[in-house]
Structure 1
Amino acid sequence: MNTPVYRVAFIGCGRRAHEHAVGVKADGRCEVVGLSDLSVESSEKLNAEFGFTANIYTDHKEMLAREKPDVVLICLWTPLHLPVFRDCAEAGVKAVLCEKPMSPAWGECQEMGRIAEEHGCQLTFSLQRRFAKGNQTVRRLIKEGKIGQVVRMDLYSPPNLLDCGIHTFDQAISYMDETPAKWVLGAVDTTETYNWFNVPSECGASGRIVFANGVQANLVSGEIDTWEPSGDASKIWAGVRVFGTEGFIEAMWDGQIVRAVNYNDPSWKPEMELSSMSEQMEGYVRHAIDCLVSGEEPEVSHRKALRASEIIFAVYESVRRHARVTLPLEGVTDSPFITMLENGEFAREGA
């Protein structure tokens, strides 16, 4: 049987596109035919670095019409994800690999999912850490019952829930075999506000999340020196600590197992398997193409990204309501954080 070759295009050719291109270059089923960026220089650099011979465009709609790609990688700032994905889906693109996070507002995230379903376009997001060998090992150990029944988790993330927290929430959900959250109670710190990829964010957050299986999780997000003054916990600044009835595992974002204990077997030490970002991106792209061939739901499908994103916007909505929020998150289409920020609802330090 002949191996299918897919026409591939990039929209956005900056730094993150170079990381995606590692995975594309490694997959012999991908033929890069088009690059689109407002900066021709950026496109030329991407062509040169990876040996692509793609045609260069400054208008992604023109590229979609002329090149008719099967697969598109969207490597743009967050507010551009929805409109550009819509253009791709309407142009008949079969699969889109989009940079995370999904979108600045919950309603826009849902709209991306709706468009994907309506057009039959496979939409994935670059939550590539699911393909880290260490994370795969942790999922296997939990499924095998090595730490017993999972009862609690501690979730750690650098500042900005939307852009960074999505990795932590996705990691936690993957450890529980895709179990969604049931309710969320959250708080945010606006001592400082940041702007990441043209989206404003808090400088820290905390909260409590209860999942549908009864597992309870504590959330801590922010600069490490503001919430981990000392001790072993300072080792987990981005990742998940999973507590079971028979032990616990601490794992960083990229699957680095910091510590693991089985109460009944003190000598047990899980194998340490590390994966580089390049290996993760290769796994992400390869899996996306595999699923395009097989029709299976990808490991990082839009449906799974929506579960993690919903928790983020539920934290923000909890702040707005001054109460816990039951999921699914209904009656919310904006980003509650951005709305409150624009309305001047957050107190200033010293005020």
Structure 2
Amino acid sequence: MFIAPLSMKKERCYVNAPTFRVAFIGCGRRAHEHAIGVQDDDRCEVVGLSDISEASAEALNVAFGFQANVYTDHKDMLAKEKPDAVFICLWTPLHLPVFRDCAEAGVKAVLCEKPMSATWGECQEMGRIAEETGCQLTFSLQRRFAAGNRTVRRLIGEGHIGQVLRMDLYSPPNLLDCGIHTFDQAMSYMGETPAKWVLGGVDTTETYNWFNVPSECGAYGHLEFANGVHASLYSGSIDTWEPTEDKTKIWAGVRVIGTEGFIEAMWDGQIVGGVKYADPSWKPEMELSSMQDQMKGYVRHAIDCLASGEEPEVSHRKALRASEIIFAFYESVRRNARVELPLAGFTDSPFISMLENGQFTK
């Protein structure tokens, strides 16, 4: 039986709850995007902003009129302000240590930038801390809250394309930072079904460094989900997958093929195509939402769950499933073999280890 995920259901109203004390650690560009959601939720009282650049924290304070206290040491802020919820908007290698600091300080909820962390072991450690302390940990996979993605989940759940058979997954380069959105989108379309095995390869014609984590410039492979659905992944240059007159190209998103039709949706829920074989006149409705709307939905939902105790739509458990696929791709390259999930036997990033060992030397 298909069980509708939370974001397929009717938009919820605010949960009656007291005001929550909110703080930011990292006050750069992404903090400004999260702050849009915070400003939209009157249950959030921003009490502290922390950044090694005091000017960045002051700029965020002024831009949104928070009137929060400014710190350059996040541990000092946690001790003095005792926030209920913290936004971590930092580079990837800082996610685990700063989340640990928040959990140890008694923070009730952490809304962290994606990806989870740079290695599989660190991702698991974040999950362990969240489970052990009860700190609600979510990641900014805000595209789940796009109106179009909610529509696709509903259409699939209502059987408009029949039984799902396979998917084509598209992502810009860097599986860790971008691919996590695509894998999360795919699993959300199937009621959170996890992956079963992965066979992958990476392109190291160039290597990138995003947020102080090295990455490939492309990745290609195949995976099977636990429900038997197969998927092919295409990840590479945005120029390669940029929309053109050839409508078969999706630079970031998912094509879902079923027994009775198919639907194509971009990352942000833009439905670019849909066919029902028995009814050529059928067209899936187009619903667009801005990044601002998505961030508002993400923050509102996280605060709702903090008040109600429900598992968030973008919980650490779901981020772990998407992250596991990414590290399985890298491990498949290292083993030159198909990799079964759940992962076992390593805690590093196979890609980083291979890169440091000179395996990709031209």
TM over 0.5: same fold?
yes
**2:141 aligned partner:** 127
Q: Deviations over 1:277-325 (max 9, x none)?
A: 0000000000000001111100000000000000000000000000000
Structure 1 residue aligned with 2:248: 233
Which residue in the other structure is 1:5 paired with?
A: 19
Question: 1:136 is aligned with what amino acid?
Answer: R
| Distance in 1, Cα, partners of 2:317 & 2:215 | 24
Q: 1:324 maps to which residue?
A: 338
Counterpart of 2:222 in structure 1 is 208
CA distance in 1, matches of 2:345, 2:19: 43
Q: Find the partner of 1:269 among 267, 283, 289.
A: 283
Asked whether the 8 Å contact 2:17–2:307 carries over to 1, the reply is: no
Q: Deviations over 1:116-160 (max 9, x none)?
A: 011100000000000000000000000000000000000000000
> Residues 154-208 of structure 1, C-alpha deviation per residue, up to 9 Å, x if partnerless?
0000000000000000000000000000000000000000000000000000000
Q: 1:2 to 1:320 in 2, by over 3 A?
A: closer
CA distance in 2, matches of 1:254, 1:130: 8
1:333 aligns to what SS in structure 2? coil
Aligned-residue offset at 1:270:
1.3
SS of 1:237's equivalent in the other structure is coil
- Residue 204 of structure 2: which of 168, 186, 190 is its match? 190
Find out whether 1:48 has 2:62 as its counterpart. Answer: yes
Residue matched to 2:11:
none
CA RMSD, aligned part only? 1.2
Q: Percent identity?
A: 82
Q: Distance in 2 between matches of 1:188 and 1:347?
A: 13
Structure 2 spans left out of the alignment, 5+ residues: 1-14
How far did residue 231 of structure 1 move?
A: 2.4
Is the CA contact (8 Å cut-off) linking 2:143 and 2:269 kept in structure 1? yes
| AA of the residue aligned to 2:247 | D
1:39, 1:226 → 2: CA distance? Answer: 37
Shift in Å at residue 347 of structure 1? Answer: 4.1
Structure 2 letter corresponding to 1:280: Q
Separation of aligned partners in 2, 1:128 and 1:305: 12
Structure 1, unpaired ranges of 5+: none
Distance across 2 between alignment mates of 1:225 and 1:111: 36
Q: Which residue of 2 aligns with 1:57?
A: 71
Distance of aligned partners of 1:103 and 1:10 in 2 relative to their CA distance in 1, 3 Å threshold? same
In the TM superposition, 1:78-97 aligns within 5 A as 78-97=92-111
| Equivalent-residue separation in structure 1 for 2:247 and 2:31 (angstroms) | 36
1:100 and 1:209 map into 2 onto residues whose CA distance is: 22
Amino acid at match of 2:88: I
What is aligned with 1:109?
123
Query: Is structure 2 residue 187 aligned with structure 1 residue 149?
Result: no
Three-state SS of the structure 2 residue aligned to 1:100 is coil
Give the CA deviation at 1:346: 1.1
Q: Secondary structure at the match of 1:232?
A: coil
3-state DSSP class of the match of 2:248? helix
Aligned residues of 2:241 and 2:251 also touching (Cα < 8 A): no
Per the alignment, residue 180 of structure 1 pairs with 194
Q: Which runs of 4+ in 1 moved over 2 A?
A: 224-231
Match of 1:287 in 2: 301
Residue in structure 1 matching 2:181, options 167, 174, 180:
167
- The one-letter amino acid of 1:231's match is D
The aligned residue for residue 298 of structure 1 is: 312
Q: 2:356 aligns with which of 328, 342, 345?
A: 342
2:236 corresponds to = 222
Which whole-Å CA distance do the structure 2 matches of 1:232 and 1:224 have between them?
A: 15
Distance 1:231 1:72, change over 3 A: same
Aligned partner of residue 93 in structure 2, secondary structure: helix
Give, in whole Å, the separation in 1 of the partners of 2:188 and 2:38: 24
Q: In structure 2, how many angstroms separate the alpha carbons of the residues matched to 1:2 and 1:340?
A: 51
Per-residue deviation, residues 231-275 of structure 1 (Å, max 9, x unmatched): 2222x1000000000000000000000000000111111111001
Match of 2:32 among 18, 33, 42: 18
Aligned to 1:140: 154
Q: CA distance change for structure 1 residues 288 and 249 in 2, over 3 Å: closer, same or farther?
A: same
Query: Whole-Å Cα distance in 2 between the matches of residues 268 and 230 of structure 1?
Result: 22
Shift in Å at residue 227 of structure 1?
A: 6.5
